[in-house]
Amino acid sequence: MARTDEAEAFFHAVYAAVQEIPPGKVTSYGHIAKLIGTPQRPRQVGLCLKHLPTDTSSRFHHANVPWQRVINAKGVISPRSQPSGSLNQAAALEAEGVTVTTGALGELSVDFAEFGWFPRILPSEAAMGMVPESDDDGDGSEEG
DNA sequence: CTGCTGACTTTCT
DNA sequence: AAGAAAGCCAGCA
């Protein structure tokens, strides 16, 4: 009962978060999961996109949900996301202006340092990553 | 109804 | 630094 209802809300939250991604930018499943308040369920985010209806009659569908901008934390597009015999996702990203790098294994990777879309992490997350005691290593993970 | 899988991430070793 | 394991929960057989 409530379980399915919650799932629907979860799906809805995911699609909404994905739509928040601006063109020419990409983000990771974990980040989406965090934004919607479920940092421990990155896989479910993927499931949402997988079950994303192509029917434009639905509230969310492949046309209005830029699922292509969602990739894994490694900055590499999941091979399962590729349509049969076509690298549409990468092409779509390039169309947005995202530079997709093709690895030797044929996998597609995106530079988070350049196209990584990280609007604002949860307050606790920001505090966690901001450890004054910890020495700086010059990660330079700021992006405006 | 039961069990495994999966468009993943985080943490320990 | 790199590798292995755990965790989460919906969907499918």
Spatial neighbors of A138 by CB under 8 A, at least 6 apart, are none
**Segment A95-110, tens digit of pLDDT:** 999 999 988 888 899 9
Q: Which residue's C-alpha is at the least distance from the C1' of C7?
A: A40
Question: Which nucleotides in chain C lie less than 7 Å from some protein C-beta?
Answer: 7-12
The kind and range of the H/E element at A112 are: helix A112-115
Element (H, E) at A108: strand A108-110
Q: Which nucleotide is nearest to A8 (CA to C1')?
A: C10
- Residue pLDDT, tens place only, A41-77: 999 999 999 999 888 888 999 889 999 999 999 999 9
Can you tell me the distance from the alpha carbon of A22 to that of A13, in angstroms, rounded to the nearest whole number?
16
Per the structure, the complete domain to which residue A110 belongs is given by 2-115
Residue carrying structure tokens 């479910």: A44
pLDDT tens, position by position, A108-141: 999 999 999 987 654 544 444 444 444 455 444 4
Number of domains in chain A: 1
Please report, rounded to whole angstroms, the spatial distance between the CA atom of protein residue A1 and the C1' atom of nucleotide B2: 20
Say if A30 falls within a structural domain.
yes
In a domain, A24, yes or no: yes
Q: How far apart are CA A77 and CA A89, in angstroms?
A: 8
Does the C-beta of A43 come within 7 A of strand B? yes
